Amino acid sequence: MIQEDYRAAIDVGTTKVVTVIGRERPDGNVEIAGVGVSPCDGLSKGMVRDDAATSQAIRASMQEASANAGLSIKSAYVGLSGHHIESHNRWDQVQENAAESVITQDVLDASLATVRGLESDSPGQLLHVISRGYALDNRHLVRLPLGMHAREIHAHTHIVKGDESAIERLKAATETAGIHVAGLIVEPIASAEAALTTSERDDGVVLLDIGGGTTDIAVFVGGQIVHSAVLPVGGWQFTNDLVLSFMTSFEEAEELKRESGSVTPEIATMQEELLINSLADSVDGPISITKRELGQLLKERAQELFRLVKGKLAAPQLANVPIDRVVLTGGGAKLDGMQALARYVFQGRVRISGPRPLVGLDEQYQDPVYSAGIGMLIWGLHNMPRGSHLGVSTVNGTEIVSSGGRWYDAFTGWRNREPSGSSKSTREGASV
């Protein structure tokens, strides 16, 4: 086993922290060595609110994953969510020469570094610069133009940024837990890596990761990401609606939602009754409700969530993008009736997906709940510089360009040099 290149990824969620440890085998397949899960009550809507509770959950999750893998981990990729995440697309002229020249990996690396420099003056912390393709002279949108010749190059990129204070607080909580942050990965990108098929990415698909406190959105077409956003609504809001409506504890409402909840109450009869322990002073003993009443509350919240998603999908840059296919993942996708309701609201094909099978991944983790954590590890292995997380730390503030030339991450890396060529840019509609 090539232990020196084992890496870890931490999905810090509103209700739980998931740590995944694994490596890329010589045959190119990803192998999972260990998984750890710990409850977490230190976040609200994907953002840290209690530093100590968050650090404790991260530490417990990492300890469990390390024990399962038999490895000591000192660094990790950390997942980032929250409604402060925003994205937009842009076109930039990144090279203009007097004569045609061959396009090498260095040219593509310098092109993406140029885009990063152009974005550095705008508000927010730059997280990802993702290549969507290039325009070479009169040839439009070539995905990977290595070896081709051009005089003028324009880069089409997807930019993801976040609030610096929220990011620093998450990093601090992770460092307090004894884990060095080797890189930040925005969770919509991570979930897509685990849950989507190649054909879905090519044909056009909307990924919705419905987590505990947020719903992450990623839209792909032509194999490339074209839109990403985060909504501050997730499973917590579904449960809280029940708490407020029935005056019960959050724990009981959560169990009621999981065991008897549905967002398609039309299939439940009025005779199906449920007993709930109420905290109201005027109530003595449990109260009785119908399963249809429970379902109607959950359905209203689900419809509101999908309405907000449709609002995000009305972005100008998606006007000509086919979005009649939806993939649901995350714990919220498992609520009974979500697939049927989504199919009705979006009027398209809908499926529920967990992480695809991987070497060493137990069946219990091939569940929508673990898509972000598993996907984060896969993304990091495929797109970040090689380097073990077994006691190895990366230096903050440097730049990275993947060896494949597809991704550029502004957080850590191995290349730091002045880009060549001139630049002219245009920015497409932002999403928040």
Specify if 191 maps to a domain: yes
DSSP 391: S
Expressed as residue numbers, the domain containing 102 is 86-158+398-427
CB 128 within 8 A of CB 193: no
Q: Are strands 75-80 and 400-401 parallel, antiparallel or unpaired?
A: unpaired
The H or E element spanning position 340 is: helix 338-346
Q: pLDDT exceeding 90 applies to what percent of the chain?
A: 73
The CATH number of whichever domain residue 9 belongs to comes to 3.30.420.40
Specify if 217 maps to a domain: no
Q: How far apart are CA 93 and CA 88, in angstroms?
A: 17
How many structural domains are present in the chain? 3
pLDDT of residue 4: 64
> Within this chain, do residues 15 and 75 fall inside the same structural domain, yes or no?
yes
pLDDT tens per residue, range 176-209: 999 999 999 999 999 999 999 999 999 999 999 9
> Within this chain, do residues 105 and 33 fall inside the same structural domain, yes or no?
no
pLDDT tens per residue, range 135-165: 999 787 788 899 999 999 999 999 999 999 9
Residue 428: pLDDT band (50, 70, 90) is low
pLDDT tens per residue, range 254-272: 999 999 999 999 876 667 8
pLDDT of residue 426: 63
pLDDT of residue 199: 94
- Residue with the larger pLDDT of the pair 222 and 56: 56
> Within this chain, do residues 21 and 54 fall inside the same structural domain, yes or no?
yes
> Within this chain, do residues 242 and 95 fall inside the same structural domain, yes or no?
no
Q: How far apart are CA 341 and CA 344, in angstroms?
A: 5
Q: Are strands 273-276 and 287-290 parallel, antiparallel or unpaired?
A: antiparallel
Give the residue from 299, 320, 336 where a domain finishes. 299
Q: How far apart are CA 124 and CA 162, in angstroms?
A: 5
Looking at every residue in the chain, the average pLDDT score rounds to 87
DSSP 262: B
Give the residue from 264, 299, 334 where a domain finishes. 299
Specify if 61 maps to a domain: yes
Place of tokens 């990063």: 116
Give the residue from 246, 279, 299 where a domain finishes. 299
> Within this chain, do residues 148 and 47 fall inside the same structural domain, yes or no?
no
Specify if 332 maps to a domain: no
Average pLDDT for 8-26? 95
The CATH number of whichever domain residue 154 belongs to comes to 3.30.1490.110
Q: How far apart are CA 395 and CA 173, in angstroms?
A: 18
Average pLDDT for 40-60? 94
The Cα-based distances of 164 to 1, 84, 161 in angstroms read: 39, 9, 9
Residue 395: pLDDT band (50, 70, 90) is very low
pLDDT tens per residue, range 272-326: 889 998 888 777 778 899 999 999 999 999 999 999 999 999 988 888 887 889 9
Place of tokens 């809507």: 45
